[in-house]
Chain A
Amino acid sequence: MSALSCVASYQRRDLRAALRNGSFTLHLGPFSHLISGASEPLLDYLTDTYRDYPVELSPSDVTDVLLRLEAPNVLRRFVRRQITPNPGFKIPAVPLPLSMAPLAFEMGLNLSVALKCCRFINVHAGVVADETGAIVMSAASGAGKSTLTAALLQHGYRLFSDEFALIGLDQPLLHPYPRAISLKQETIPVVRDMVGDNWISKTVTGTPKGDIAYYRARASDVAQDKIPTKAKLVLFPNFEKGARPVARQLNPAEAIMRLVPASTNYSLLGEPAFHAVTGMLKNIRAYEITYGSTMDSLRLVEQITDQKLV
């Protein structure tokens, strides 16, 4: 694997050919992904947001994920071109205009990992870590999880993932899967102000979820994608406009019963998942935090971890 080169080291036409042949292979964290479907919007996106990610132009082995980005029908290959992710199983995906290829790509990868990969417990959560361990943040969309994740990255944390906490089955460690962070609607300008314009992708406008942009992962985070760590804190963030910052400690059993429904494969994995999740929560604390601003959320994390962040 050490011989892999990053996207930026290839010519665009070679990347295009590999996508067209269905031999473009993206390696990240524990997974390899075979992608097919060349389009200019996708190439624009990959050469920008995925520039630092290791790829092969022809796979050296079978891959965990097989994702085809294809037109929903022959007509839409030519007229008012559309694209839809095909992860190899039926999904309720709406065809998207070709310009939304980045969304189809991200959505397809998320669905593939969420529903196909079960060597880890997948919990829908943001995860960041420093040398003392990982913070797992599980929240419904709109609760400010992505903004908090982005903020913590500016304060000494590295990115594991903004979508998936991958918990190992043999040892309850978290495994990094640092894909780009998906930003929606009003979080786009917030994070742009925080991290600077050249870290944010072109905004995809008018998607079924409104405006979407992606915050590129740092090369250093991508480079550490094989280094797992133990959890140190579980948070259930909750953004409420104008809310006073409050942290409420949860009984670990309650925390687990809230993580379980956020997992796409906990019940599938049975006993090992029970051991892994209870193992992860052993000797660490869980909080529900409510806040009305990013600054407040950082202060709460600081109080809980006794770390100076702000």
Chain B
Amino acid sequence: MAAVPPTTGKKWSSDSRQYLAIEYDDTFLVYFRPSGETHFLNFLSYGMVDAVSSMPLSEEEILARMRTDFSLTAEELPEALVATTLSELDQAGLISALGAGA
């Protein structure tokens, strides 16, 4: 897979009109309209998609948000995990970097 480009300053966003989500005990089935695919997301991945739907956020802001929202420590939720998840969500199209290919 491609190397994750540096994300400093980049803002992520999602469009809640483009997906349907159903929650089942901390997991989410998410249907993404543009790709027609159904994704199986854990609470963290979905939390990230959901967080950037109301307001674009940078990677640092998302990290802080997730740690607060889910009461996770820096050890439980390291930066690298957020970066990888963001990159996967980006590849699936669920989130996109503002200004890029919008």
Contact = CB atoms under 8 A, between A and B. Distances in A.
Interface of A: 251-254, 256-257, 260, 266-267, 270-271, 274, 278
By secondary structure, the A interface counts as: helix
B27 A253 contact: yes
B38 interface: yes
11 contacts: A251-B25, A251-B27, A253-B27, A253-B40, A254-B27, A256-B38, A267-B36, A271-B20, A271-B31, A271-B33, A278-B29
Contacts of A270: 31, 36
Given A253-B29, A274-B38, 6 more contacts: A251-B25, A251-B27, A253-B22, A254-B40, A267-B37, A278-B22
A254 B24 CA distance: 9
B31 A253 contact: no
A252 B24 CA distance: 7
Which 7 residue pairs spanning A and B have beta carbons closest together? A274-B31, A253-B24, A270-B36, A253-B27, A252-B24, A257-B40, A253-B29
A256 B37 CA distance: 13
A278 B28 CA distance: 11
B27 to A, nearest CB: 5
A287 to B, nearest CB: 15
Nearest to A281: B24
A251 B37 CA distance: 20
Contacts of B27: 251, 253-254
Contacts of B33: 271
A251 B24 CA distance: 7
Given A270-B36, A274-B38, A256 B29 contact: yes
Contacts of A271: 20, 31, 33, 36
A267 B37 CA distance: 7
A175 B28 CA distance: 28
Contact of B20 (A252, A253, A254, A274): A274
A270 B24 CA distance: 20
Nearest to B39: A257
B71 to A, nearest CB: 22
B75 to A, nearest CB: 27
A247 B100 CA distance: 48
A21 B25 CA distance: 57
Contacts of A274: 20, 29, 31, 38
Interface centre among B25, B28, B37, B38 (most CB of A within 10 A): B38
Contacts of A252: 24
Contact of A260 (B25, B28, B38): B38
A43 to B, nearest CB: 44
Contacts of A254: 27, 40
A24 B41 CA distance: 49
